[in-house]
Chains A and B, each alone.
Chain A
């Protein structure tokens, strides 16, 4: 019988002396979905992934990968044959070329995909003869993704695949990850980028201080914790801003970090606001409605704003 879930975790705990890195977490990941583990550095994302990959011991709990129990040696051997991994700090032979590195990792498996196909998949055709040490951060990550796919895995763990990349390289990596889903692979993605989780993931689990705060699709999480839509009124000077504040006093206006006036978007509120501002000839520059994001969800669940520290990515 075909497994319904790629990963099943029950009451997983990882302790380091007094520190609880993973605190009694439980969740399931369906086959073929992109699952994002979203949380700040040190939340326990990488620790969980490494336990599932078999390179870190758990303290207690149970975990099954594609129906195989990580506690059983024979099962763990099988797991390693059918998963692909991109570690957070990915490194390979620095003096070997892209192609040579792919060949090297291919030879770790009994079955492997053609190296040229993998190169094409991550669009590295122009760099096949470039040594790993001479690649940019983005190209290194792309090679890492290609390496994680050499054995045509059913499940791919991508640990912070876009950390440290510029926006363009990040979007290119997203395209590759979306391509994996279209191939029917299950992707376990850890990230601290809200946008990345929102764009890519079918299911998001928000983890904070080792605990899962909530789990669901981005829409479900936003509906549950994101609050209402907002109306954002943009203006260019302080005088106008003060005037808008006074006019929208009954709506409970707030000011965001860009100096925009933000109010809750209740039913019919938008037309009332527009009418009010127009009647009073307020020279606002723009007025938009905004849906809450995962950032709002995170703030709501943890009471903290997710601060991204690019330099410290070790979980």
Chain B
């Protein structure tokens, strides 16, 4: 074979790849819903995660209902002599600064336990948490100061276990009580905690940790669903068989589609970063050129996986269901959105079987400078997976009618 022939072959291949790429892009641009949902998905994700988990902590105030049945009175009404009032003040009652600091708003439940039990009151009023200071509690506290054999002075906490934040509120009340206990007995604070931020991460916020994960989750979801949808639709309409009767090669077809997925990935990344920057002041210094190979090989990985799924599950509905059953566990287990350390040990092992685990690890390492030295292993795995899944997807794609 002459060099000219090779050059001509490359030119023809590039022409075919360009044709598939540009027709896919043009078709996509002209399909309103596809355009809208491709872009709206990362925006919704970043806004949701930003608001829920980090960017606006001041807005996430918990409401704690309290009922003070304690009728303890002292002449001077000083808080220090009235443990019930002291507890409530330490939880932020009539103290806006402290209330903001604790993210806790106290609301008087204002009902009588003689008429309605606390359990029924919380149920009837759909209240998730209630702190009840029983009658005689302050007296019992004062009694226990002088008499160590006196029974414990307990307060009551009623909660709805279906609200996951109950644990945080209970811990908060617990901490305040511990502090009061120590103060009552005049014990000084000997041991405290001193916090230091990880080097080079001082300027980072919660959102800076979510952006890399959301980029990769979007690319994995869009990549797999996009390729599965495209492959099954082209088979169902017969388009693929018309294509199969032309001289185009399978790898040229797959390259064009995976190239398109990579371009989509870049667009999604830009959009996610911009949304994070506009809405939550995302740290733009985290952008790094190594993000590009991660996006390209990540797209190849998920595109290739999409082709493999489409090979074995031929009906579009079934193929989409199969994709979702892979995409969803991967999203939650891979560490892209939630730290894998919080998972049970066996799930941490399973997480390592998902490609997104390594790809989001690589992306996070590249974007968050302090872990940059850790980028090479996940990046290497990402590149290897991209190549392997692309080749497998291309080979396994069947253009013949079976």
Contacts and interface: CB of A to CB of B under 8 A. Distances in A.
A107 B15 contact: yes
What band does the interface of chain A fall in when counting residues whose beta carbon is under 8 Å from B? 20 to 34
A108 B400 contact: no
Contacts of A50: 241, 401
B23 interface: yes
What band does the interface of chain B fall in when counting residues whose beta carbon is under 8 Å from A? 20 to 34
A230 to B, nearest CB: 42
Given A96-B26, A108-B16, A54 B238 contact: no
A104 B17 CA distance: 10
Contacts of A96: 23, 26-27
A310 to B, nearest CB: 17
B111 interface: no
A150 B12 CA distance: 15
A239 B27 CA distance: 66
A131 to B, nearest CB: 8
A87 B238 contact: yes
A93 B15 CA distance: 17
Contact of A85 (B12, B23, B30, B242): B242
B26 A80 contact: no
A104 B26 CA distance: 11
A289 interface: no
B26 A109 contact: no
B99 to A, nearest CB: 56
Contact of B23 (A53, A88, A93): A93
Interface in B357-402: 399-401
Interface string A53-90: 11111000000000000000000010011010101111
A95 B27 contact: yes
Contact of A83 (B245, B248, B399): B245
Contacts of B400: 54-57
B246 interface: yes
A105 interface: yes
Interface of A: 50, 53-57, 77, 80-81, 83, 85, 87-96, 100, 103-105, 107-110, 131, 151
Given A54-B245, A88-B238, A91-B242, 8 more contacts: A55-B400, A57-B400, A90-B242, A91-B238, A93-B27, A104-B19, A107-B18, A108-B19
Interface of B: 8, 12, 15-16, 18-19, 23, 26-27, 30-31, 237-239, 241-248, 399-401
